[in-house]
Amino acid sequence: MEQSTETKNVYDLIIVGAGPAGLGASIYASRYKMNHVVIGGQIGGQVTEASNIENWAGIESISGADLMNNFRKHAEKFGTEILTGLVDKAEKVGDNYRVSTDDGRHFEGKSIILALGMKSRKLDIPGEDALVGKGVSYCATCDAMFFRGKDVAVIGGGDAAATAALHLAEFANKVYMLYLKEGLFLEPTWQEKIKANPKIEMICCAKISHILGEAEGRVTGIAYDQEDGSQEKAVQGVFIEIGSVPGVALAHELGVKTDEQDYIIVDQKQETNVDMVYAAGDVTTGSNKFRQIITAVAEGAVAAGGIYKELKLGKKS
């Protein structure tokens, strides 16, 4: 249920992030009868951008948007307060925590779950920033329809890149999938689907050096290096799928420890080094950094359970 006004009471729990981890935590928090609020910049998180999900137990195939809509409806069934907003500040206030959104709202709670998710990793090459929205994209599901009948490139060698390439092949004339040799780590199922699609051409050992654009600011191609020299490929779209990095600015504000890759360090209860601050989902060191929907939901559930035991039952472990 979307709320437009700020709630004045002190919550038992504030969940920052409304993806699988945040909504999973909310479902369990509701069952534990904890008064809580979920605040997220994008309800459903990055999963909503996935065109097809085939590894959610019990459902053979579903779009990310539909799956997360189911998550949201499930959470709302218990009366969960789900707010759209970008949390840009978190601080300790007395015995509680206060989080603030960029539109001036403030929320106070006895505990926090940081379900911050990930943000797209960039190539950091010439032409990338200047051509975002002009042919450069980080979301094939969002933008594939704009490249109907055109030639496009997908940069990356993982499952996300494969998913993007297959989705783009439904619209584009030709899809080039460029990857570094050491960066190819596709599940066998994805490899089979890529090889079986005549529109997709895989280009190995390609280090992208430049995204090319015309004077009026549209992508015209990509430049890349291989063992036999520099190459160029004429394309009208470039989709960057080289992974994600944790969004941990809020965690740092609270003094939460992260590892050398900036993932939030959690224990088996999903608790951080800061009292009553827990974390769940892709942003944590939990679940062997597997970064799957199923592990994100599980971590959210574990975090909610840990907070319930500590907050309501007075048990630290």
Using one digit for the tens of pLDDT, what is the confidence trace for 66-76? 999 999 999 99
Whether 78 shows a pLDDT value over 70: the answer reads yes
Does any domain span residue 263? yes
Does any domain span residue 316? no
Does any domain span residue 1? no
pLDDT of residue 300: 98
Q: How far is residue 38's CA from residue 19's CA, in Å, rounded to a whole number?
A: 10
Whether 313 shows a pLDDT value over 90: the answer reads no
Q: How far is residue 235's CA from residue 153's CA, in Å, rounded to a whole number?
A: 7
pLDDT of residue 148: 96
- Domain containing 182 equals 129-240
Residue 73 DSSP class: H
Please list, in sequence order, all residues whose beta carbon lies within 8 angstroms of the beta carbon of residue 31, skipping any fewer than 6 positions away.
Answer: 78
Kindly report the CATH number assigned to the domain that includes residue 80. Answer: 3.50.50.60
CB atoms within 10 A of CB 100: 16
Does any domain span residue 14? yes
In the chain, the largest separation of any two C-alpha atoms, in whole Å, equals 66
pLDDT of residue 133: 87
Q: Say if residue 233 is in the same domain as residue 267.
A: no
Question: Domain boundary at 240, 272, 287, which?
Answer: 240
Does any domain span residue 5? no
- Token pair belonging to 222: 């990509």
Q: Say if residue 296 is in the same domain as residue 234.
A: no
- Token pair belonging to 152: 């496009």
Does any domain span residue 2? no
Q: How far is residue 272's CA from residue 251's CA, in Å, rounded to a whole number?
A: 9
Give the CA distances from residue 70 to residues 50, 65, 85, 305, in Å, rounded to whole numbers and listed in that order. 15, 9, 20, 22
Question: Domain boundary at 205, 220, 240, which?
Answer: 240
Q: How confident is the model at residue 215 (pLDDT cuts 50, 70, 90)?
A: low
Q: Say if residue 81 is in the same domain as residue 220.
A: no
Q: How far is residue 140's CA from residue 200's CA, in Å, rounded to a whole number?
A: 15
pLDDT of residue 80: 92
Q: Say if residue 210 is in the same domain as residue 285.
A: no
Q: Say if residue 230 is in the same domain as residue 266.
A: no
Please list, in sequence order, all residues whose beta carbon lies within 8 angstroms of the beta carbon of residue 277, skipping any fewer than 6 positions away.
Answer: 97, 111, 112, 114, 254, 256, 271
Q: How far is residue 233's CA from residue 225's CA, in Å, rounded to a whole number?
A: 11
Q: Say if residue 16 is in the same domain as residue 44.
A: yes
The residue ranking higher by pLDDT, 312 or 65, is 65
Judged by DSSP in three states, 86 sits in coil
Does any domain span residue 187? yes
Cβ(136)–Cβ(220) under 8 Å? no
Q: Which residue has the tokens 């997908």?
A: 154
Digit-coded pLDDT (tens) for 23-68: 999 999 999 999 999 999 999 998 888 877 888 999 999 988 999 9
Q: Say if residue 152 is in the same domain as residue 297.
A: no
Q: Say if residue 236 is in the same domain as residue 133.
A: yes
Q: Say if residue 101 is in the same domain as residue 249.
A: yes
Q: Say if residue 21 is in the same domain as residue 95.
A: yes
Number of domains in the chain: 2
The secondary structure of 242-288 as a DSSP string is S-EEE--HHHHHTT--B-TT-PBP--TTSB-SSTTEEE-STTBSGGG
Residue 60 DSSP class: S
pTM over 0.75: yes
Average pLDDT over the chain, rounded to an integer: 92
Q: Say if residue 215 is in the same domain as residue 260.
A: no
Q: Say if residue 186 is in the same domain as residue 222.
A: yes
Q: Where do the H-state alpha helices sit in 186-290?
A: 188-196, 249-253
Does any domain span residue 78? yes
**213 alpha-carbon distance from chain centroid:** 28
Q: How far is residue 119's CA from residue 136's CA, in Å, rounded to a whole number?
A: 16
Q: For residue 244, what are the β-bridge partners?
A: 120
Question: Domain boundary at 183, 212, 240, which?
Answer: 240
